[in-house]
Homo-oligomer: A and B are copies of this chain.
Amino acid sequence: MAQRGQSDAAGRTPRAPAENAAEITTPMPTINGNGLRDRARAIPEAAVARLAVYLRVLSGMKEQGVASVSSEELSAAAGVNSAKLRKDLSYIGSYGTRGVGYEVEVLIDQIERVLGLTREQSVAVVGIGNLGHALANYGGFPGRGFPVTALFDVDPDLMGVPVGGIPVDHIDDIPTICAAREVTIGVIATPPPAAQAVCDRLVQAGVECILNFAPVVLQVPETVEVRKVDLAVELQILSFHVARRADHAPAADVTPAQRVNGAQANGVVVRR
C-alpha cells in the first residue's frame, strides 16, 4: 500500500493501475529504493509484447515526421483495440494529453525505458546454421538495437569465420566469452539434441534470459527466463485451423475467383 488512498478519488491518479493489479497477485509491494520504476513489475506479459509493437509503429511515425498521435490512430496501426492500447499505455504511466493524444517522441522514450532498451543488451547466438546466420545478420532492429556480440558453434570449419561481422567461437568458450562480453540474452538455434547442453553453458555464463528456437523443453533454474519460438508448432497451429475450416464448411470450398482481395480489415481501414 504505497501512497494510495484518496488521491485517485480526489483528482490525481498517480499510478493507480499498478495498484489494483498488484493488490490481487502480490500483496508484497517490495518498493526497493525508488518507488518510481517499480510499477514495471505489474505490467502483464501480454501488454509487454504489445508495447514492443507500439514502439515499432511509433518509430515509423517518428521517421515520417509525425509528432502526435491519438490512441485511435495508433491502435489501428498496431492492429489492436483502442481501449486496450490506452490500458497498456496506462501501465507505464500517463503520458497522453486529453483531447489531443500522445506525443510520439515521449511515448517512444517511455516505452524504451520500460522495455529496458536504454541500455544495450548484448546478445549471443549459438548454432550458426541457416537460422543462426539469419539471426546474426538481423542487426537492423528498430530504434536501439540488440547488438549481437558473440557467435558459437561446434563446427571446426566455422571457427574464427566472421558472420555478420562477428567471428564464431566454440561453444566450450561460452562461459568465458559471454561473461567477458556481458551477454544478457542468449539465443539457441542449435539442433535439438545440443540445446540443453548449450543452455546449461549459457546459464553457467550468467545469462538470465534465453530465446530458444530448438524444439525442446529446456530445464533451467527458475531465475532464468526462457522464451520459445517453435516453427513446427506454429505451422501445426495453422494446420489445425485449415483442418477446422475444412470440417466446418465443406461446401464453401476454395474458389480463388470469387475471393477478390478486399483489403477489408476488422473494420479498421488503415492505409498508412
Contact = CB atoms under 8 A, between A and B. Distances in A.
Interface stretch (A4-12, A96-104, A137-145, A151-159): A137-145
Contact of A217 (B115, B179, B239, B264): B264
Contact of A233 (B52, B116, B231, B239): B52
Interface residues of A, number: 103
Interface in A220-240: 220-223, 225-240
A210 B262 CA distance: 11
Interface string A235-267: 111111111111111100111111111111111
A241 B32 contact: no
A129 interface: yes
A119 to B, nearest CB: 8
A61 interface: no
A116 B246 contact: yes
One complex includes copies of this chain to the number of: 2
A16 interface: no
A47 B37 CA distance: 35
Contacts of A258: 25-26
A211 interface: yes
A194 interface: no
Contacts of A55: 236
29 contacts: A25-B258, A26-B256, A40-B240, A40-B243, A48-B236, A49-B237, A77-B217, A79-B217, A115-B236, A115-B239, A115-B243, A117-B236, A121-B239, A130-B134, A131-B131, A185-B242, A203-B259, A204-B259, A206-B256, A211-B234, A211-B238, A217-B263, A219-B263, A219-B270, A219-B272, A222-B266, A223-B255, A226-B262, A227-B238
B235 A229 contact: no
Interface of A: 25-26, 30, 32, 37-38, 40-41, 43, 45, 48-49, 51-53, 55-57, 77-79, 114-117, 119, 121, 123, 129-131, 133-135, 137-138, 141-142, 146, 175, 179, 184-185, 200, 203-206, 208-211, 215, 217-223, 225-250, 253-267, 270, 272
B263 A232 contact: no
A229 B24 CA distance: 32
Contacts of A115: 236, 239-240, 243
A208 B30 contact: no
